[in-house]
Amino acid sequence: MIGFAADRSLPHQHLPWRPLDMQAPTGFATDLQLLRLSLSPSSTCTQLIEAVDDYQTREAKAHRVKPPCGWDIAREVDLSEIAALKPRDVTMQCPLAAGNYIWMREIDKAALKHLGSGLKTIQHAGSYSCRRQVGNGSGQWSEHAYANAFDVMGFELEDGRIISVLKDWNGEKDRKRFLRDVRKQACKIFRVTLSPDFNAAHADHFHVDMGPTTSCR
Per residue of the chain (217 residues), give pLDDT as tens: 455 456 656 898 999 999 999 999 999 999 999 999 999 999 999 999 999 999 999 999 999 988 999 999 999 998 899 999 999 999 999 999 999 999 999 999 999 999 999 999 999 999 999 999 877 777 899 999 999 999 999 999 999 999 999 999 999 999 999 999 999 999 999 999 999 999 999 999 999 999 999 999 9
pLDDT of the residue at 197? 97
90 close to 71: Cβ distance less than 8 angstroms:
no
pTM reported for the whole predicted model:
0.94
205 close to 152: Cβ distance less than 8 angstroms:
yes
pLDDT of the residue at 1? 44
| Strand pairing report for 149-157 and 162-164 | antiparallel
pLDDT of the residue at 148? 98
Q: What spatial distance separates the first Cα and last Cα of the chain, rounded to whole Å?
A: 37
| Total count of domains within the chain | 1
Contacts of 185 (CB under 8 A, 6+ apart): 26, 103, 106, 107, 110
Domain with 147 in it = 2-216
Q: Please give the Cα distance from 164 to 110 (Å, whole number).
A: 15
